[in-house]
Amino acid sequence: MHDGAGTHRTHAVYPGSFDPPTNGHLDIVRRSAAIFPRVTVAVVVNPQKRDPLFSVEERELMLRESVAGLPNVEVEHFRGLLADFVREVGADVIVKGLRVVSDFESEMAYAHMNRALCGVDTMFLMAHEGFSFISSSIVKEVFGQSGDVTGFVPANVLRALEEKRTTTGGTHVDLPRHR
C-alpha cells in the first residue's frame, strides 16, 4: 500500500495488450520514463481481445527493441490480474494513456478496481495529440488492407507486420473497436 501523502512514486507499471505496440504506446513509455525512475511495460498474456495477431513473445520482443534506448524501462508479461502483477513486482503506480473521452469511462472503473485490489493508484497521461487516433486495432485494420502505417508504428513493428503478412499470408484478425 502506498497511501502516504507526499511519498514519491518510484516504480510504474504500464500495462497493455500491445498487439502490436504503436508510436502512441511508445510515446507514453518515453514520457513515463521521464517521470518515474523505473517503468515496467507489462504485456498481458491473454488479452480480452480474441486471437491476438502477435504472440506474447513477439509483443515483448517488439517492445524490448523499441525501448532499448531507455535504461529505466523493462518489459515483462503477466497473466491474470494486473493488481497481482503490480503487487508481485512491488510497483507503486500504474500508468495508462488516455486518447479520447470514451477511454475515460472504462479506465475509471479499472483504476478504482485496481486500487481496491492492490492499493495502487493509476495515473493517466494524455496521449500525444498526434497519436490520439492511433490504436493497435486501427493499425492492423489499415495494414491488413495494404494501407501505409509508416509513422504510426516503430520501424521494427512495421517489419514484424510485414513478416507476419509474408509468413501467414495476411494480417487479418477479428478487430475489436477499442485500443
C-alpha 36/C-alpha 116 separation (Å) is: 22
Shortest reach from residue 44's CB to ligand PNS, in Å: 4
Q: How does DSSP assign 38-83, residue by residue?
A: EEEEEEESS-SSSS-SS-HHHHHHHHHHHTTT-TTEEEEEE-S-HH
25 is catalytic: yes
Of 66, 135, 136, 137, catalytic: 136
136 is catalytic: yes
Residue 110 within binding range of ligand PNS, rule CB under 6 A: yes
Nearer to ligand PNS, 81 or 126 (CB): 81
For residue 160, how many C-alpha atoms fall within 13 Å in the half-sphere facing its CB?
A: 23
Nearer to ligand PNS, 17 or 66 (CB): 17
Residue 21 within binding range of ligand PNS, rule CB under 6 A: no
Amino acid letter, 144? G
Q: Give the residue, chosen from 34, 35, 68, 81, that forms a contact with ligand PNS under the rule CB under 6 A.
A: 81
Nearer to ligand PNS, 164 or 179 (CB): 179
Nearer to ligand PNS, 8 or 84 (CB): 84
For residue 15, how many C-alpha atoms fall within 13 Å in the half-sphere facing its CB?
A: 24
Q: Give the residue, chosen from 48, 146, 166, 167, that forms a contact with ligand PNS under the rule CB under 6 A.
A: 48
49 is catalytic: yes
Q: Give the residue, chosen from 113, 123, 125, 175, that forms a contact with ligand PNS under the rule CB under 6 A.
A: 113
Check the CA dihedral 146-131-68-81 and report its sign: negative
87 is catalytic: no
Helix, strand, coil content of the chain in percent (nearest 5): 40, 20, 40
- Residue carrying the nine cell digits 473521452: 101
Residue nearest to ligand PNS (CB): 16
